[in-house]
Structure 1
């Protein structure tokens, strides 16, 4: 009787296999780096950043210039063409930014941050952020990242990593040099001002720099011949 009852049941539906798309394969990356309505302090937004920059960071994790065990594990066995494909996919994405978290900073701190970002500090030989990252701070193709929309904690952590030698780039490492010339108060001011800026969703990486880079930067083709 039990067998007859089982035979009378309709066949179970077989789930269709998941589509083998690049987006599907990148689901583990999206789980941290592209969560809707979340501006995570520890997993930065990758969408819309220049392809060359993203490719360089994947190589930096793979080759040990950047330290994060999960990232190193995920990319250590991936071939170069696949790293480029991943970088290209993220560079082409432009989902809306999550709302920024409120920034706790004094007016004087925000003004110092604004001055460093837009004008730099000649006395400390610190170039303005806009001199490298673009007038709208949206990055410059092919290899300079945008700064808009990044959480303050993430910015502080990256400056700290450069200052402590935990994060590195291809030599010459221009950001390590800049970070070494900034005081801790300067870092806090820059991160506060950047994190407090409203994100313009129409901003895209610039196609070229308005002037030569102020410092030589490894991994940035336009940096060749940059002023020391």
Structure 2
């Protein structure tokens, strides 16, 4: 064997340099959230693409600071500064890959009727606002910090509402989603989750632009 640099030794190829782009830097996210944040078949890993940058940023900060608890996310984000988290959020917000085809929702017809009523009308007698009031009439979200609700599986929506109900997921105070979720009964959570999961996702639908509209209650994350 010839020593490095000796006559006749073959030069070693230089290590391949990866492009210094945000696309390359967020490759660790692909395994769970899909290429460009498109989403995957796993019910608990949601689509990131196209959600408002402000919303994604708040979630990244919440995972980093422990307000949302999922150990892989808590670990990966533990030492990332705010500015870098915002760049990650902006990257995924700008993506628009085709949505995954959603599986059919096999739930009782009355449950879907109840879910549709709560999503579109709320429960006025208990001062629970309609989901569409904040998340938009098309439920595609609203800039800067309100996410779309389409393209999510029923079990995922139910799990997130449950996490808010029991304080496992929190947002910037005043935490309007905690108040709303805690006001819903278990059957109402199931109905809302089933109805949202039954809705189709139209390609190219984007969150509504920020507008000076009064929300039905104070919400700290809508900034």
TM-score, structure 1 as length reference: 0.88
Give, in whole Å, the separation in 1 of the partners of 2:64 and 2:78: 5
> What is the total number of aligned residue pairs between the two structures?
217
Q: Which moved more, 1:204-213 or 1:78-87?
A: 204-213
Query: Partner of 1:33 in structure 2?
Result: 33
Q: Which moved more, 1:57-66 or 1:88-97?
A: 57-66
2:54 pairs, out of 52, 55, 60, with 52
Query: Partner of 2:118 in structure 1?
Result: 116
Moved over 4 A (4+): 7-15
> Where does structure 2 lack aligned partners over 5 or more consecutive residues?
none
Query: Partner of 1:167 in structure 2?
Result: 169
Question: What's the secondary structure of 1:135's corresponding residue?
Answer: coil
Question: What's the secondary structure of 1:162's corresponding residue?
Answer: helix
Alignment of 1:100-179 (within 5 A): 100-179=102-181
Q: Does 1:83 align with 2:85?
A: yes
* Deviation per residue, 1:158-216 (Å, 9 max, x gap): 01101111000011111111111111111111111110111111211001358410011
> Where does structure 1 lack aligned partners over 5 or more consecutive residues?
222-228
Give, in whole Å, the separation in 1 of the partners of 2:157 and 2:59: 16
2:98 pairs, out of 96, 99, 103, with 96
Query: Partner of 1:192 in structure 2?
Result: 194
Aligned-residue RMSD, C-alpha: 2.0
Give, in whole Å, the separation in 2 of the partners of 1:56 and 1:50: 10
- Residue 153 of structure 1: CA displacement? 1.2
2:203 pairs, out of 189, 201, 204, with 201
In the superposition, relative to structure 1, how do residues 201 and 107 fare at CA in structure 2: closer, same or farther (>3 Å)? same
Give, in whole Å, the separation in 2 of the partners of 1:61 and 1:11: 46
- Residue 17 of structure 1: CA displacement? 2.3
Q: Which moved more, 1:208-217 or 1:184-193?
A: 208-217
TM-score, structure 2 as length reference: 0.90
Give, in whole Å, the separation in 2 of the partners of 1:214 and 1:128: 9
8 Å CA contact 1:40–1:151 kept in 2: the answer is: no
